[in-house]
Chains A and B, each alone.
Chain A
Amino acid sequence: MPRTLWRRLALAAVAGVGVAVWVFPVLWGLLTSFKTERDVLAYPPVWLFKPTLDNYREVIFGASSIVPNLWSSFVLATATTLLTMLIAVPAAYALGRLRFPAKRMSGFYVLVTQMLPPVGLIIPYYLVLQKLGALDTYGGLTVIYLTFALPFAIWLMVTYFEDIPLEMEEAALLDRAGRLRTLWYVILPQVRGGIAVTTIFVFLNAWNEFMFAVVLGGNRVRPVTVAMFNFISVEQTQWAKVAAGAMLAMLPVIIIGLFAQRHIVKGLTVGAVKGGGRR
């Protein structure tokens, strides 16, 4: 009996360390965001301090407010998500449920486009958008965001379409409902959950994107990830303010992440599950 007790304690300790290592840096950042710059630099660190909202006031209302950047991120992520879902859902239905020639090839092509290193895409995009005068525009960035959002969304949606029983659409088709009507009225309601999860993931990935935005964005289109980076380049020492900015920038994804927690594993493993063209 004491042996199992020890075992339990040891296991709990390991799990506790795991939680602490993943959560603590973020909690530390949260704590820092309520400190004055002087308290940040105190050694040994102060645990009991008078919390201040000054940092948040500064990053929201101050001269270097990140509110316009939050808006930029929101516009970009929303545009990317809408376009992606509009194109990806029909394509995923075709790949997941219909029979047609070159189906395996098409699926594999989508999979390959998901693996392209972003640095290889950014150079031609820079040259072309520069020629078109489309650097620092929402349009230009949305197009390049499709390169990672679209393949991902298609493959994730395929897994949801495959989960619904074949009989449903067969019955609808026998009733001469027409293919488009069947898709709209019978199939899509079945994958509502999948559409919600995919939407969340695409939005999250677009919100977190950095490399494309830092090269192809500018003064007009500057998402919050780029703003954070510039913030620290300019104001190296104002850690409390950086922490407050980071907390604001990451609040949406943290909330979404906790909300969609159960579906995250499925979303993250997409592609490889079906990978290599099992179909």
Chain B
Amino acid sequence: MASAARPARSLAAQERRFALALLAPALAVLLLTTTAPLVYLGWTSLMRLDLAMPYLSGFAGLDNYVKMGSDPRFWNSLALTGIYTASTVVLQVVIGLTLALLVLQIPRGQALLRIAAILPIVLAPVVVGLFWRTLVLAPDFGLVDLVTRSLGLGSHNWLGDPQLALISVIAIHTWQWTPFAFLVLLASLATLPPDVYEAARLDRASAWQRFVHITLPLLRPAIVMVVILRMMTALSAFAAIFAATGGGPGSATEILNLYAYRTSFTELNLGYGSSLAVVLLAITLAISFVMFRLRRAR
């Protein structure tokens, strides 16, 4: 009996050693490439670090964070981040779900739609931003202006007017990433058990009742997952906005991500930029923890 337990234990020890040997390189690389830089970021956020005025560099304590409180551009970027994230995520889920529900009823041609949906997803966001800026949203010759002009709605400066610019960048993001929500929701809709619907139909439940009481609850995990992933993408959105408006006009489309970037690499104020990045990091982590709790709740 004892002799049987010993090889079992050594087998477990052997498995443990093997696992650690396989995992160690990955953990070491991640520690070195992600965690260590973030610790350094925390340090630089406490520094006065202005490449335009290097002679003033030095430890500044919490100055950068205090400065944020009275920085209208920071509060503006925070509000824009909220608007941008909330509106793009809601639009993607609503449009994606609606489209998925409709497409599910089409007997043929689903494959064509799935292929079309892949197209925006694989494109580089920076190219998407450039594309929209030149071919879609440019005044007079862009696709959207061609449509509005032919409808008699006139020509607009889609990226030059502050309010229109915000709507435009939201539209660009929604265009590129709605296919994601659509594909995931379509895939999970296809796995729902048909017998539940059959029972509901026998009970004379209306289409709307079936949607609210059966489809939505069953789809909840998939929807929560889509919301989590879409929020993460929206919070770190950069290239498409950068290419389409550069954060402008003024700071009309300057979400926190862009503000941190511009502060660090256009105005070369890396200390303040670091503290802005730390705030973004804290927001991202907080939201992901809340969302994962929500996901595990049921």
Interface residues of A (CB under 8 A from B): 8, 11-12, 14-15, 18-19, 21-26, 28-29, 32, 40-41, 43-45, 87-88, 90-91, 93-95, 98-101, 103, 106, 109-110, 112-113, 115-128, 143-144, 146-147, 150-151, 154, 179-180, 204, 207-211, 215, 225, 228-229, 232, 239, 242-243, 246, 249-250, 253-254, 256-258, 261, 264-265, 268-269, 271-273, 275-276, 278
Contact = CB atoms under 8 A, between A and B. Distances in A.
Contacts of B182: 18
Contacts, number: 279
B1 interface: no
Contact of A254 (B18, B40, B119, B273): B119
B114 interface: yes
Given A98-B18, A120-B278, A211-B238, A22 B117 contact: yes
Contacts of A122: 261, 264
Contact of A22 (B22, B119, B131): B119
A150 B295 CA distance: 24
Interface residues of B, number: 93
B229 A249 contact: no
Interface string B1-24: 000000000001011101110110
B44 A100 contact: no
Contacts of A250: 122-124, 127
B38 A124 contact: yes
A258 B118 contact: yes
A94 B19 contact: yes
11 contacts: A100-B15, A110-B30, A116-B38, A117-B236, A119-B264, A232-B134, A246-B127, A253-B122, A257-B118, A261-B114, A276-B293
A117 B225 contact: no
A210 B126 contact: yes
Contacts of B122: 204, 208, 250, 253-254, 256-257, 264
B34 A121 contact: yes
Contacts of B41: 120-121, 123-124
A128 B37 contact: yes
Interface of B: 12, 14-16, 18-20, 22-23, 25-27, 29-30, 33-35, 37-38, 40-41, 44, 99, 102-103, 105-106, 109, 112-127, 130-136, 138, 140-141, 143, 146, 150, 175, 179-180, 182-184, 187, 225, 228-229, 232, 235-236, 238-239, 242-243, 257, 260-261, 264-265, 270, 273-274, 277-278, 280-281, 284-285, 288, 292-293, 295-296
Nearest to B104: A11
Contact of B27 (A106, A120, A258): A106
B120 A22 contact: yes
Nearest to A26: B119
Contact of B225 (A94, A208, A272): A272
A15 B278 contact: no
Contacts of A11: 102-103, 105-106
A210 B134 contact: no
Contact of B23 (A90, A116, A125, A225): A90
A41 B136 CA distance: 13
A15 B40 contact: no
B26 A272 contact: no
Nearest to B35: A113
